[in-house]
Structure 1
């Protein structure tokens, strides 16, 4: 897609589909500075709604967002509360359990469909007659660690959700969450006393992942990548998992597992109580901390039937109240925060001038203090939390959609290549076209010329593979993945074909008959 939005587009919508909370923002291209974050969510007036779904026994979607959580303890049986399903896209962690018959793609598509309905209704009320599929550009943010296949799944889900009409639609583009946050924070850099040539690190602390991006400020309000983006699964929801481990020590691990399996809504209700009264207010300072008494008979009575043996005796002695002390809470945060600190340490460059914390989890006072204590001296205390850090990503997504030229270049996360000889039989030799770690300007091309290998060859096949290594021997090596393939006609077997890759917000692959000028083009998701 071109670097600037096409003439048909009137409105840009940024979509922050998060692990625990989601939202969207929008702006008209004639008023680029007026970016509106939706705050018209049921029950709450804040800027996000939970990434949650409620299904009935037949897996019919009943509610989404806040309403899906409002009735957690309904007496009706066989309801399915679904949360954290975005984590199913990450292969390196244990996937959340979903009801039998419900795939994570269906859950994501269902959620995006409802979010899309809200977007369409909002835009129609603001600009009646706006043609959604022709005059609206959607910018969907993704974690930095998503690979090409995962981004392709998100595009598939967006299609199933009715956000786009075709899978290859140019009206949906992607950017990473930390890159979007970097763009949003760019105009605050003068306030942070950064000048042209300085680099800054954005630490996006979300519910599921923590993503890092280090950018260099250029002239003309542009950014270039300093080092490759990085991320890991250590967001705020993992503190919730530590809370469940703590609870398991009080009532028995089996009891927690049974409630999670048979009474998921009750378990999540208890987690939300923990978040509201313990996790969110926690500052890491013992002064002023008050012990919290978790009354299981009131908050999660179904758990009692699964508590046995010495755990039951102790809980009956304590009247089914679990007391959470200061050191207990700190022990829930610390394993997660240690991972974040290590992630930041590994991202550091020698000349990083400032650090900006964004995302919902960045609002944690304890997390802020740990990061500042660890890196404050090294950063000359230039560690900042902008106003409303939870909306930095979605606003940055809108800004990126309005001006994609703001990103001057990126560093490739993957090595790209193709098969070495292009015949109908072919072979599996991997031929590298560009190496991971290479800095590429937006819309930069890499090309190679191929000719038919036999006199009777009527077609030439082209493909594109990726690997996380510098090179590969064969295209069927375990670490090599196929992005896609296509073929073109070659009426004369002595014709040369120019095969080019163009790295924009997506990879555009082009095969051009050099003599006739005939072209075949296709696009692949760029893992940015």
Structure 2
């Protein structure tokens, strides 16, 4: 993709060089740090220089785009006209994930996140899977497996046709939904079951609600809408819980972006559940993330504040206290000192507000040994707001930093703080004796 885009750009813009391009790669906001780091590594292996690459969170990109666009709604409301201090929810409904963030408008048109990103795998592919399972139910599960393995192009073509119908389906009009079925699928049904698709349908109990005419499968609208049920219930339930949270009180609008947001069924489900909230869907909602990523690339500082999804910190040791520490964490060091190991030292707590580009909550760490030349600081993450030990369930090592320390003695210290710039994290270490600052990007472990 990178090579194709470069070739097309160079053919259309005379004198354009690879160094002239800054690349923005969009990722779901609900992804963890390791997944985002994996995408950066993949982009770098594709030939994109690290300093020419930014990662943008998809709902944030869409939000920026819609702030620049007058997303009109009946009555003339739009995201771009919301005043400072007003909140709105961004629902980025893609194929795989549903990504949700809540933004507040700041002075100068910038945005801040007021609740950590959330969501789940309830996107449009869930609806596709329900449809494919339904075809398996009508015919035979082995038919679907054989069709997918032996006729992949036709399988994808069937999904494409279903995608078009999926976005346009409107159950208020009743009637039938027509889906074109590849001839190879009909042949798979005949070869595997010994019956034609038409004959198989007559034994299903659906009667005239499902019919076959040539290569056209015709379904009642309510059968088509049943494929959406699980996805819609999960989305609406999650939104309801989210809007009850104190920090989300006063949300004035729900901005629907992403390809799945073009589905009338999804739009109607949200309008019915939240009649007092404005529902806004921009033109070409499926392109909002793409266009917003371009804006983000030019103005990454437009998002001024985020909310930490996780608790971040360092695995450290402290003097063992039998009244406070479990015996299993007691360890005798080579200098004879008895210490408690695997202690969580929290730098950022899940739910903390993070001002983009500013250092967070400095913590000081000391050498254990007199002649120690380096501090090795393992970095951990957890969803727990008050973790005790880095070996607890849910705690995960995501990387480490090694900081040189000058002189000798155990009274030397290094201040450690985290900088959440953009969508990635930098660890800044300050040696107190010399003032030397070391900045390191966390190489998140996969």
Q: TM-score, normalised by structure 1?
A: 0.70
What does 1:315-464 align with in structure 2 at a 5 Å threshold?
A: 322-348=217-243, 349-375=248-274, 377-379=275-277, 382-421=278-317, 427-445=341-359, 446-464=361-379
1:259 corresponds to: 147
Distance 1:300 1:313, change over 3 A: closer
2:57 corresponds to: 176
Q: What is the RMSD of the two structures over their aligned residues, measured on CA atoms?
A: 2.8
Hey, what's the Cα distance between the residues in 1 that align with 2:200 and 2:334?
72
Hey, what's the Cα distance between the residues in 2 that align with 1:357 and 1:424?
60
Higher Cα Rg, which structure: 2
- Cα distance, 1:414 vs structure 2: 0.4
In the alignment, is the contact (CA less than 8 A) between 1:447 and 1:498 conserved in 2?
yes
Q: Which has the higher helix share?
A: 2
- CA displacement, residues 141-178 of structure 1 (integer Å, 9 cap, x when unaligned): 111210011111111211222223xxxx2322212111
Distance 1:320 1:222, change over 3 A: same
What does 1:491-506 align with in structure 2 at a 5 Å threshold?
A: 491-494=406-409, 495-505=412-422, 506=424
What does 1:190-339 align with in structure 2 at a 5 Å threshold?
A: 191-192=77-78, 193-276=81-164, 278-287=165-174, 289-292=175-178, 294-295=180-181, 297=183, 300-307=186-193, 314=200, 322-339=217-234
3-state SS of the aligned residue for 2:399?
strand
- Cα distance, 1:212 vs structure 2: 1.1
Distance 1:524 1:488, change over 3 A: closer
In the alignment, is the contact (CA less than 8 A) between 1:140 and 1:172 conserved in 2?
yes
- CA displacement, residues 432-476 of structure 1 (integer Å, 9 cap, x when unaligned): 111100011111212122222221212211232111111323223
Hey, what's the Cα distance between the residues in 2 that align with 1:303 and 1:127?
51
Distance 1:267 1:300, change over 3 A: farther
1:158 corresponds to: 43
Hey, what's the Cα distance between the residues in 2 that align with 1:447 and 1:424?
29
2:384 corresponds to: 469
Hey, what's the Cα distance between the residues in 1 that align with 2:362 and 2:178?
63
Distance 1:124 1:250, change over 3 A: same
Distance 1:480 1:128, change over 3 A: farther
What does 1:33-48 align with in structure 2 at a 5 Å threshold?
A: none
Q: TM-score, normalised by structure 2?
A: 0.82
Distance 1:319 1:424, change over 3 A: farther
Moved over 6 A (4+): 309-312, 316-321, 422-426
The aligned length equals: 402
Gaps of 5+ in 2: 204-211, 319-332
3-state SS of the aligned residue for 1:429?
strand
Gaps of 5+ in 1: 1-114
1:119 corresponds to: 5
